[in-house]
Amino acid sequence: MRFDLELPSQDPNASAHRTAVLLVNLGTPDAPTPAAVRRYLAEFLSDPRVVEIPQWLWQPILRGVILPFRARASAHKYASVWMPEGSPLRVYTEQQTSALRGWFVSRGVPVLVDYAMRYGTPSIGDVLGQLKRAGADRVLLVPMYPQYAASTTATAFDKLADAMRRMRNQPEVRTIKQYADATGYIAALAAQVRDYWAIHGVPDFAAGDRLLLSFHGLPKRTLNLGDPYHNQCQTTGALLAQTLGLDETSCRVTFQSRFGKEEWLQPYTAPTLAELGAAGVARVDVFCPGFTADCLETIEEIGMEGRDAFLKAGGKAYHRIPCVNASPAFIDALGELTLAHLGNWIDPAQAALVTQAVALHQERRAAAAEAAR
């Protein structure tokens, strides 16, 4: 007796493994309106990794007290920074995605590059599904948070796992946990600061001017619970200061965006700015190394609220240095970082050529940085 077995249909891309790089940032409302901001905040503040309070206790407070008032106030702030193309975070993330895509194309590396937001749209699950339909069965997840925290990087990993839980045929996945001390990342930060100073003048550090490196804050208890975030911020700050040739007096690490009455990581950015202004410091420059793309927290909180705090206290000149965004130095750093983690997903011969080109570029970059000192 003969049996004819019907084989399942074959994915036309199954034999040609396609690799994708997925950038993930925090997220943004779809519009600077109270309704859109409320939807976004409801998702963001309902994440148990973001607000570590039992949901049965937290949700009534969130829905009944916080969202009705904060959504309207936050919408006003978003409106003050909204760009013609949309939310700054989305605009700059799209630029980074496009630039990184071009970085791989120019080096002959066939990698799909896309982005997703942890909260709001486009979601990690939706974009992961799109990449799968495009034939990708290998995905490198790259959180756009250089310093690891459970409330940022870990929750992005959680969402990736949730999306994969609903897939029968899952892609192979790799993740990047942190790059707080990566050579390329530090070089990109230093290049961003130097480029700004080349246009706006270098602060007179000998006369008492200051550079503040403002990172997003977290409750202090996260440090005691084991989050490496605080130490990684300090590492980034120390390496950047060293690269710029600044000491601890001229360059300080602070933490912003405190929420609620609980003690957060210190020193706080806003009070530090007021103290410097009152102490007679003439100029303060503020840079946010933990944010890879400008957003509400950098443009409005640092650029507007921080400026007001410093000037009202007696300061004379205030400068917000833009984030790295899609600067060539950061795209180089991002490309080198992702390429290293792609490893054997890239054809070995092809990877060797790219690695040689990257090494040569790094040598030239180091020589240029040395010459700039």
104 shares its domain with 171: yes
Number of compact structural domains in the chain = 2
Whether residue 217 sits in one domain with residue 99: no
Query: Are 118 and 25 contacting, i.e. CB atoms less than 8 angstroms apart?
Result: yes
In a domain, 4, yes or no: no
Q: What was the pLDDT predicted at 5? A: 35
Say yes or no: 28 and 175 in one domain.
yes
Please report whether residue 370 resides in a domain. Answer: no
Entry pTM: 0.91
Between the alpha carbon of residue 92 and those of residues 132, 139, 345, the distances in Å are 25, 22, 28
CATH code: domain of residue 157: 3.40.50.1400
Task: For residues 165 and 192, state if they share a domain.
Answer: no
- Least Cα distance to 160 among 199, 126, 185, 192 occurs for 126
Q: Per the structure block, which two tokens stand in for 371?
A: 């010459």
Give the domain-ending residue among 179, 196, 225: 179
Q: Where among 134, 153, 179 does a domain terminate?
A: 179
Q: How many whole angstroms separate alpha carbon 49 and alpha carbon 104?
A: 34
- Spatial separation of the C-alpha atoms in residues 25 and 156, rounded to whole Å: 9
Asked whether residue 15 is assigned to any structural domain, the reply reads no
- 49, 151 Cβ separation under 8 angstroms: yes
Residue-range definition of the domain harbouring residue 160: 23-179
What is the number of alpha carbons within 13 Å of residue 52 lying toward its C-beta? 11
Q: Which residue intervals of the chain are DSSP H helices?
A: 34-45, 55-61, 67-81, 88-106, 124-133, 155-165, 183-200, 221-224, 229-244, 269-278, 296, 307-312, 328-342, 348-372
Same domain, 123 and 210: no
Please answer whether residues 213 and 287 qualify as being in contact, where contact means their C-beta atoms are separated by less than 8 angstroms.
yes
C-alpha to C-alpha distance for 58 and 15, rounded to whole angstroms: 49
Phi, psi of 352 (to 5 degrees): -65, -40
List the chain pLDDT tens, one digit each, 373 residues.
333 333 333 343 343 569 999 999 999 999 999 999 999 999 999 999 999 999 999 999 999 999 999 999 999 999 999 999 999 999 999 999 999 999 999 999 999 999 999 999 999 999 999 999 999 999 999 999 999 999 999 999 999 999 999 999 999 999 999 999 999 999 999 999 999 999 999 999 999 999 999 999 999 999 999 999 999 999 999 999 999 999 999 999 999 999 888 999 999 999 999 999 999 999 999 999 999 999 999 999 999 999 999 999 999 999 999 999 999 999 999 999 999 999 999 876 555 655 665 566 556 656 665 665 6
Same domain, yes or no, for 237 and 140? no
Same domain for 166 and 301? no
User: Considering the domain boundaries, does residue 222 fall inside one?
Assistant: yes
